[in-house]
Amino acid sequence: MLVSRYLDVAEDSIRPNVSGIRLLQDPSLNKGTAFTLEERRRLGLEGLLPPHVSSMAEQVQRVLANVRSQSSDLHRYTEMISLLDRNETLFYRVVMDNLEEMMPIIYTPVVGKACQLYGHIFRRPRGLFITRLDRGRVRDVLRRWPHRNVRVIVATDGERILGLGDLGANGMGIPVGKLSLYTACAGIHPACTLPIALDVGTNSAALLDDPLYLGMRERRLTGPDYDDLVSEFVAAVREIFPHAMIQWEDFANHNAFRLLEKYRDRVCSFNDDIQGTAAVALAGLLSSARLTGTALKDQRVLFCGAGEAAVGIANLVVDALKAEGLSEADARRHCWFVDSKGLVESSRRDLQEPKKPYAHPHAPACDLLSAVKELRPTSLIGASAQRGQFTQEVVVEMARLNKRPAIFALSNPTDNAECTAEQAYAWSDGRAVFASGSPFGSVTYKGATFVPGQGNNAYIFPGVGLGVVVSEAARVIPEMFLAAAHTLAGLTTKKDLDLGRLYPSLSEINEVSAAIGVAVAETAYARGLTPEPRPEDVGRFVRDLQYKPVYKKYV
């Protein structure tokens, strides 16, 4: 029975295997000042804690006061990571009860700065680092992880962290942040998660020269040496954590698509930058279609940027259009790209393989503005990682062509957004349907208040992971992301749309993740991807398995 294999959710009391100071040093067991007097006597904690027994509510109040008093977002980040290092349950209570405030701190945009300064703000190791020196012994490295029931692994090689480029081992901040959202947003038990950095070196001269850099001080592995290490890592995961799902995270384009295709049918895995981004963007397009009164098949989408995120979105849009009855060729003609060399069109001979299916016959166009004028898109999606690509001229032209132009500035972190929310609304005379990758505050323009939607992957990947984990799915298939996108769009209310918001409020993300988990699990059952029988009530089954950050009684 899966419940016993994944997590005994009915258990409200445990017998810890350590006591005294060692218990206080274990973040998965520590309750801090919330240990009762009886527990303190039984577990050898008398004298090691102040005498007052705090309620969790009191502890949350103290944490929030400390975090909010910090002088910068980076200090708020380190305060929260320090809490995670000493009291895991309290960390998740604070985050889950204050998600809109805490998500930007523990993940984008602040995690980008934290990764850049990883070696400078390092406190305590989290996760596993795997290097070329571990070749032949990767299984031994995985066995050192203290938890055996790992169900979700987020792995990065640090080569393309957000829009910041090659950060090497500093990229570990991303798996740690992603997995905290798996727990906070979807209720995956933290003991079932594992962050991994495949430290294959870095080509960043700044990092190699930084005396505080903590990674391998050598240039990146490439070719067979790189592939052999990744292959050994995948084989070791299958052996040591046979029920684990691998999320490939922040790999550069030249490896991202290749690794996804190589392993998608061999191991339960997906790439969030390609598939998670695609699902949240497709959900935004579906919500935008509701707002503008048009169908998805009436959309023409122009992408600024043609990397893994943009191509992933286009691929899922094609899947959605095919589900509506279009042929694959017709569906692809709804998607166009502009990269650093101009319009992606059929006469180009410099195109990487993932772009080629979208190289339609057309005269060359040298820049984004020219492409907008010639192609007359209804939606403009930014995945360029280049700030300011959506200039005033581009947005004005989109507004001239469309009554309600869809402007999605999805690049992270905030400094890399193609335009700001304020610019999109002002330059379109308040008519833009705007979404962004990083959060922007509400904007008042000509007396109207707009609440921009954040096309954050956190709407998608935690719920997908939840559905895969609870169903014991052997594979992650594209249909799961299509189901996730439609579910997310369906949860966007008329009230959300009236505010200009294409997604539900982040405060509702627990319910969103549960609903996506149900949709993904149903897909797994329907497609025969799991040996587990379909529960009579999948919704209740999923919600009963979600982790809840409450202290257990120690006996």
**Residue 369: exposed, middle, or buried by beta-carbon count in 10 A (0-12, 13-18, 19+)?**
middle
Q: Quote the distance between the C-alpha of residue 425 and its chain's center.
A: 27
Q: What is the DSSP string of 305-325?
A: --SHHHHHHHHHHHHHHHHTT
> What would the two tokens of residue 535 be?
């529960």
Report the alpha-carbon angle 448-454-456, nearest 5. Answer: 175
β-pair type (553-554, 453-454):
unpaired
The residues with which 454 forms a beta bridge, in sequence order, are: 436
Query: Could you confirm whether 358 is annotated as catalytic?
Result: no
Q: Read off the tokens for 354.
A: 């993932």
Q: What is the Cα 310 distance to its own chain's centre?
A: 15
Task: Exactly one of 6, 77, 92, 178 is catalytic; name it.
Answer: 178
Annotated catalytic residue, options 6, 107, 182, 547: 107
Residue 65 CB-density burial (10 A; 0-12 exposed, 13-18 middle, 19+ buried): exposed
* Structure tokens that stand for 474 in this block: 């052997």
Distance CA 34, CA 42 (A): 14
Given a contact cutoff of 8 angstroms between Cβ atoms, the answer to whether 308 and 271 are in contact is yes
d(CA 132, CA 221): 8
Q: Are 77 and 70 in contact (CB under 8 A)?
A: no
DSSP secondary structure, 481-534, as one string: HHHHHHHHHHT--HHHHHTT-SS--GGGHHHHHHHHHHHHHHHHHHTT--SSPP
425 is known as an active-site residue: no
Residue with tokens 């997590």: 7
- Active site members: 107, 178
